[in-house]
Amino acid sequence: MFRLKNLLIGKPLHNSLLVHEKLTKIKALAVYSSDALSSVAYATEEILWVLAPLGAFALSFSLSIAGAILLLLVTLILSYRKTIFAYPSGGGAYIVAKDNLGQIPGLVAGSSLVIDYILTVAVSIASGVAAITSAIPSLLPHTIALCLLSVLVLMIVNLRGIKEAASIFTLPTYIFIFSLLTLIVIGIYKRTLGLPIPLAPLNPILGSAPQSYITLWILAKAFSSGCTALTGVEAISNGVPNFKEPRSRNAARTLVVMGIIIVFLFGGATFLAQTLHVTPNTSETVISQIARILTGRGWFYYLLQASTAAILILAANTSYNDFPLVFSLIAKDGYVPRQFSARGDKLVFSNGIVALSTLSAVLLVIFHGDTHALIPLYAIGVFLSFTLSQVGMVVHWYKSKEDGWRSNIMVNGLGAALSGVALAVIATTKFVHGAWLVIFLIPLFVLTLLKIHKHYKDIAKKLRVDNNHAFEHPEHIKVIVPIATFTKVVANTIEYATSISDDVTAVHIVLDDEKAEKLKARWEIYYSGITLVMVCSPYRSLIAPLLDFLDEVEKSTKPHELIMILIPEFITHKWWQYFLHNQSGLILKSVLFFNKSYVIASVPYHLSEPPKKEKDNCNVAK
């Protein structure tokens, strides 16, 4: 088992190596920007899905809508840059909202981030697989299998450590940036020089609604769909601790570079889609259509499609870096199980990585790996966390009165206002298309976190030792040993039982009369001084008669007496051999564990390794 684990994720790293797991700006851009950069691959398409059914006049608004989204992007970049310097410990919206707005807003922001990261993995992988099936249509029936395989690969790579994952994912990210920028330059070059460019074929989805039908509501729907281009903007502020020192400055510079790249990629892709009259369809992505029209199906087309598929799948890697970190902060505060705050063998939060993979895989199966079915669920959590984070920063600057606090309030206040408006638009326009599910899940998740926190507080209170506490010492220990047959395992347990108490009783549940008589005869030979109780089980049940016997023992127990149940168990030499034997001891422990009247313990007997045959080294006469 350990060999397989070491093969998949490598050998454990020493705590002292944590400092060497930090990321440079080049690697951090690939790791933390992949989500935001990948949104470019489908954000334009989501705008067009809203506008195309209304006709060519509606499509003319796509560039204006993209401009409004990019204005919001610039505002958020400036706002989160302030957050990075104010909160270099990471955690983003969760920490900012908790510290400045209180417990509930903090938990709402944290819940939004958690749900957003799960959806990011699902949407990114579904989009990446869609890019693959666009280039190779024969793979379309295997969409779900490809999605689950991608989740598995990402999980294993991230379990190997953040630095190793960054090294693997850096090249595909920069290939995508280079290839899409090249495509945009080719398109603008041909357009500027008036070179012949074949237009996209007429798409049946293209409608012919009158101009008067283009209402503010329609434009708002297109804007809310295109806002998926902004997902992942907060990732760098959440992962500041993973940057090399000076971490705040490096993270801020990486954030600005990411913003500049998104402006060029998203703006350029939308411009080309409008110029070439590209409209969306279910069999080929918009980026694929643009590349095919401008360059044909040559090597560059397949490079772009491969890099697009890679960046879309790797966009999920942003969640694999941020989700475990944010979840660990929530765990340290006692709102989710404590084990999520512990680092694994490779100095990453392994439990968070596994949890993220499992939940994302479930979503992909439920929604059949369909990007368009997942997108409506996507942006609510993102913009809710944006808004709470920016409002929290406004409160932070107002309280701290640091140098430049007034200008900082203006920047974060503008970010809060714009993201709040976007949140309202998205929640309204996407509500009936699935956003209601996220709006319902966030309060439910917050209530769950509060319940967990209350449990931890109650447990801590009950377990706290103070000077007035008096420990009760048992005056007598009554030991019960359930036995099935007479073996070395049983003898080992009986010897241990007699070393801790003079009151030892063995109990055998009679399932076979002949075997019971043989056991009784051998018992008289070896342990005649220890009581052996035979309990009949006419319905061949093992647990129920034993529980009835223990109930009778408990009734006869005096105050300050302790009932200890010792369960004989043997440990096989090979781990897989354990599953060849019945697990009656494990079942019995599971049943008795929650009864506060008993102390349950296993007494293991380790079977020795069979002796190896000696090789015959004698020389054979020839």
User: If you write DSSP's letter for every residue of 215-264 in order, what string do you get?
Assistant: -HHHHHHHHHHHGGGGTTTTHHHHTGGGBPSSHHHHHHHHHHHHHHHHHH
Helix (H, G, I), strand (E, B) or coil at 502: coil
State the Cα–Cα distance between residues 477 and 458, nearest whole angstrom: 30
**How many angstroms separate the Cα of 559 from the Cα of each of 269, 447, 475, 477, 566?**
79, 41, 9, 11, 21
If the chain, 622 residues long, is cut into consecutive pieces of 10 residues, what is the mean pLDDT of each piece?
56 53 79 79 82 80 89 86 82 83 90 85 81 79 88 84 68 89 91 72 61 76 81 79 85 91 91 85 81 88 85 77 83 87 72 90 83 68 85 88 85 85 81 76 91 90 73 81 88 91 91 87 89 85 85 82 88 71 74 79 78 51 40
The DSSP string of 401-444 is --TTHHHHHHHHHHHHHHHHHHHHHHHHHSGGGTHHHHHHHHHH
CA 36 to chain centre: 18
Confidence at residue 79, expressed as pLDDT on a 0 to 100 scale: 83
Residue linked to tokens 């993201």: 419
pTM value is: 0.71
Distance of CA 70 to the CA centre of its chain: 29
**The predicted structure's pLDDT at residue 260:** 92
DSSP letter assigned to residue 23:
B
| pLDDT score of 424 | 86
Give every CB contact of residue 572 below 8 A, 6+ residues apart in sequence.
578, 580, 581, 607
Environment class of residue 156 by beta-carbon count within 10 Å: exposed (0-12), middle (13-18) or buried (19+)? middle
pLDDT for res 32:
80
Closest CA to 607 of 582, 568, 572, 578: 572
For 491-582, strand residue ranges (E) read 503-510, 531-536, 561-571
Confidence (pLDDT) at 446: 93
Virtual torsion, Cα 526, 527, 529, 531, nearest 10 deg = -150
Beta bridge partners of 598: 563
Complete domains list, the chain, with CATH: 23-94+120-367 (no CATH), 476-606 (3.40.50)
Beta bridge partners of 568: 603
| Confidence (pLDDT) at 621 | 41
